[in-house]
């Protein structure tokens, strides 16, 4: 039996995959529900919409990806400190490399002002990066 996941889960899954993060779609779905990004039906939550995590027009997610890296960094000022060679533009949008993902996750975990949800998400990213490092060593 094939499971059909909501389009937001599919999009997030493809984004993770393009960044080299290996996760099952079921885990992506659970994490998105737990992080209050989508409800059980796969629809974006008001929290996700209000905070700009998901942008929708007529109930369809919209890709508002900046055209230039400068615009992307303006959108995410915490990324200004990283050299441009840590970023790549793909068909899905801007991607960061594992160095930036690991660094930003560690900063979130060590900041006492970070919410528990954000700390949980940082732990998930670090777990995937560690698993990915293990696979790379096996190759």
Read off the pTM.
0.53
C-alpha gyration radius of the chain: 15
Alpha-carbon span 133 to 19, nearest angstrom: 13
Condensed to tens digits (0 to 9), the pLDDT of residues 33-64 reads 888 888 888 888 888 887 777 776 455 554 55
In a domain, 69, yes or no: no
Per-residue confidence (pLDDT) for residue 110, from 0 to 100: 94
**Mean pLDDT taken over the chain:** 81
Q: Which domain holds residue 30?
A: 1-64
- Residue 126 resides in a domain: no
Is residue 97 assigned to a domain? no
Q: Domain total for the chain? A: 1
- Between CA 96 and CA 84 the distance in angstroms is 10
Residue 110 maps to a domain: no
């Amino acid at each position: 039996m094939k499971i059909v996941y909501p389009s937001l889960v599919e999009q997030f899954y493809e984004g993770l995959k393009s960044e080299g993060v290996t996760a099952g779609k079921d885990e992506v779905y659970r994490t998105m529900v737990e992080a209050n990004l989508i409800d059980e039906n796969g629809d974006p939550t008001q929290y996700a919409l209000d905070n700009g995590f998901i942008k929708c027009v007529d109930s369809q997610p919209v890709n508002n990806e900046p055209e230039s890296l400068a615009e992307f960094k303006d959108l995410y000022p915490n990324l200004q400190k990283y050299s441009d060679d840590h970023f790549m533009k793909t068909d899905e949008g801007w991607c960061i490399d594992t160095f930036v993902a690991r660094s930003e996750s560690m900063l979130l975990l060590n900041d006492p002002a970070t919410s528990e949800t954000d700390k949980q998400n940082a732990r998930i990213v670090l777990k995937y990066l560690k698993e990915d490092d293990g696979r790379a060593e096996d190759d």
